[in-house]
Chains A and B, each alone.
Chain A
Amino acid sequence: MRKVFGLPVVVVGALFAAAPYFIAQAPYESTMGLIQKIMYFHVPSWIAMYAAILVCGVSSAIYLFQNKPAADRYAVSAAELTVLFGSMGLVTGPLWGRKAWGVWWEWDVRLTSALLLELIFVAYLLVRKYGGPGSEKLAAAAALFGMAVAPFVYKSVDIWRTVHPKTSVVPTLPKVMAGPLALTALAFLLLFFVLLTLRARLAERQAVLDELYLAHED
């Protein structure tokens, strides 16, 4: 376990430690100034959330159609991480918006759909916790629904009129801003990988414990 985690933990720690320096070196955006620097962890938290949704959805599909318990363990782990990274995006976004837009929250398409996407995966976890026997399959179906909704949330800014910037902004960033953003995105994706492996390990140990209880009762 230590071998698996050693290098990624060191790399994630180094990236997160170095990130503030590179973010501070990046130039100010013309209209927003300092507050725009929230982008360097707001955007990566959504990237990590989309990665978590993808893992959760694909693992849920494997569990539903091939009935592999290991896939279910990865699905529940990724669902927790979806909620974690989604909450980062939903908290850092309003902090940015308060200064840039003058409001904490706006009920427009992007913000509302992102909140609903987060709630789908909160519902997944609630079904898993309180749904009783067989709730794994029901939750897996909810995860597939969440995975299908995610692309609409991402593209919503291009389809509907919204206060949120469009998806075309990030590819047009100059190198001095794109560099730190790529670094923090990499840090968040590695953090996602480390947390996913750790959480899946917990799910595996819980499965072993459940089997021991069953054997003990017999």
Chain B
Amino acid sequence: MRLLTALCSFVLLAPRVFAVQQAPPGQSEYVPIKDLPPTDQMPAAPLLIAAYAFVWIAVMFYLWTIWRRLNRVEAEMGALARKTAGR
């Protein structure tokens, strides 16, 4: 009886188990790269380099603006000091 139950269970459940474990169907023909979805065709490296470059450029640009503003303030202070001394 136990053996019969086990055999019946195997027969009923086996197709489901093997269906889950089945490998995906093999590629039947050559697929050129242009037929892949656009995201798969796109190279990642230029996007990665662009992101890294943007971070560097943004930091350098901000540092340059601070340096420029600081120089302008110091120059104005110097000019004001000279004007005050000339009075």
Q: Could you list which residues of chain A lie within 8 angstroms of chain B, going by C-beta atoms?
A: 20, 33-35, 37-38, 41-42, 45, 80, 84, 87-88, 91-92, 95-96, 98-102, 191, 195, 198-199, 201-202, 205-206, 208-209, 212-213, 216
Contact of A33 among B37, B44, B50, B77 (CB under 8 A): B44
Determine if B80 and A209 form an interchain contact, defined as CB atoms under 8 angstroms apart: yes
Contact of A216 among B50, B55, B69, B83 (CB under 8 A): B83
Determine if B38 and A91 form an interchain contact, defined as CB atoms under 8 angstroms apart: no
Determine if A102 and B47 form an interchain contact, defined as CB atoms under 8 angstroms apart: no
The chain A residue sitting closest to B52, CB to CB, is: A41
Known: A41-B51, A41-B55, A202-B66. A209 touches B39 (CB 8 A): no
Determine if A99 and B51 form an interchain contact, defined as CB atoms under 8 angstroms apart: no
Determine if B73 and A84 form an interchain contact, defined as CB atoms under 8 angstroms apart: no
The chain B residue sitting closest to A198, CB to CB, is: B66
By a CB distance below 8 angstroms, the chain B residues around A91 are 51, 54
The chain A residue sitting closest to B56, CB to CB, is: A16
Determine if B73 and A209 form an interchain contact, defined as CB atoms under 8 angstroms apart: yes
Report the minimal beta-carbon distance from A76 to chain B, rounded to whole angstroms.
Answer: 12
Determine if B48 and A191 form an interchain contact, defined as CB atoms under 8 angstroms apart: no
B interface residues, how many (CB within 8 angstroms): 28
Tell me if B8 is interfacial: C-beta within 8 Å of chain A: no
By a CB distance below 8 angstroms, the chain B residues around A208 are 77
Determine if A98 and B42 form an interchain contact, defined as CB atoms under 8 angstroms apart: yes
Known: A199-B66, A202-B66, A205-B70. A98 touches B47 (CB 8 A): yes
A interface majority secondary structure? helix
By a CB distance below 8 angstroms, the chain B residues around A100 are 39
For the complex, what is the distance from the CA of A91 to the CA of B70, rounded to whole Å? Answer: 28
Within 8 A of A (CB), among B31-78: 37-39, 42, 44-45, 47-48, 50-52, 54-55, 58-59, 62-63, 66, 69-70, 73-74, 76-77
Contact of A96 among B51, B62, B77, B83 (CB under 8 A): B51
Determine if B51 and A202 form an interchain contact, defined as CB atoms under 8 angstroms apart: no
Report the minimal beta-carbon distance from A58 to chain B, rounded to whole angstroms.
Answer: 22
Determine if A92 and B66 form an interchain contact, defined as CB atoms under 8 angstroms apart: no
The chain B residue sitting closest to A19, CB to CB, is: B52
For the complex, what is the distance from the CA of A34 to the CA of B74, rounded to whole Å? Answer: 47
Known: A35-B48, A96-B47, A99-B44. A88 touches B77 (CB 8 A): no
